[in-house]
Amino acid sequence: MVVQSSVMQEEIKKEPEKPIDQKTCPLLLRVFTTNNGRHHRMDEFSRRNLPSSELQIYTWMDATLKESTSLVKEVYPEARKKGTHFNFAIVFTDLKRPGYRVKEIGSTMSGTKGTDDSTTLQSQKFQIGDYLDIVVTPPNQAPPPSGRMRPH
């Protein structure tokens, strides 16, 4: 008796992996996420007190926002839904006065290509020691407005 088996391979769409840069050490990226439609308040960041939603990711300065989106989706399954919106900001120490400042750097969406996908941390002047703050908005809610928020 002869048993035949046919195996079908599905083509898995995966972004090409970057070659590992053996001359540059990765950095520890401290990422904070929210799902309330807005970035963390700056008073939530201090040396002794940080938001509780911290992810620690080892990455490189040339990491893109789309790559960072993929890493967040690995940790939060609910963020994998097509249409989930990710709004990125760098939180950095204000050198002119005590405290932190925020700089919005772009947004991505699960399952959709966007203009900010290839934006890198380095291109946005990210420095080691800065934080990344990401607003994760489910697809059934309107994405938060982009651009900097103006003080009242």
- pLDDT confidence of residue 49: 84
- pLDDT confidence of residue 30: 94
Tens digit of each residue's pLDDT, the chain (152 residues): 333 333 333 333 334 455 555 567 889 999 999 988 899 998 888 767 889 889 999 999 999 999 999 999 999 888 889 999 999 999 998 888 888 899 999 999 998 899 999 999 999 999 999 999 999 999 877 554 444 333 33
- pLDDT confidence of residue 72: 92
Handedness of CA 55, 56, 59, 62 (dihedral sign): positive
- pLDDT confidence of residue 23: 66
- Rg for the chain (alpha carbons), in Å? 18
- pLDDT confidence of residue 56: 93
3-state SS assignment for residue 22: coil
Fold of 27-137: Ubiquitin-like (UB roll) (3.10.20)
Find out whether 78 and 66 touch, Cβ atoms under 8 Å: no
Q: Which residues contact 20 (CB under 8 A, 6 or more apart)?
A: none
**Domain spans of the chain?**
27-137
- pLDDT confidence of residue 46: 79
Beta pairing partners, 88: 106, 134
Query: Which residue, among 108, 102, 19, 18, has the nearest Cα to 72 in the 3D structure?
Result: 108
Q: Which residues of 33-54 are buried (b: 16+ CB within 10 A; e: fewer)?
A: bbeeeebbeeebbeeeeeeeee
Q: CA triplet 57, 58, 59: central angle to 5 degrees?
A: 110
Model pTM score: 0.76
Question: d(Cα 73, Cα 80) in Å, to the nearest integer?
Answer: 5
Q: Which residues contact 1 (CB under 8 A, 6 or more apart)?
A: none
What tokens were used for 141?
């809610």
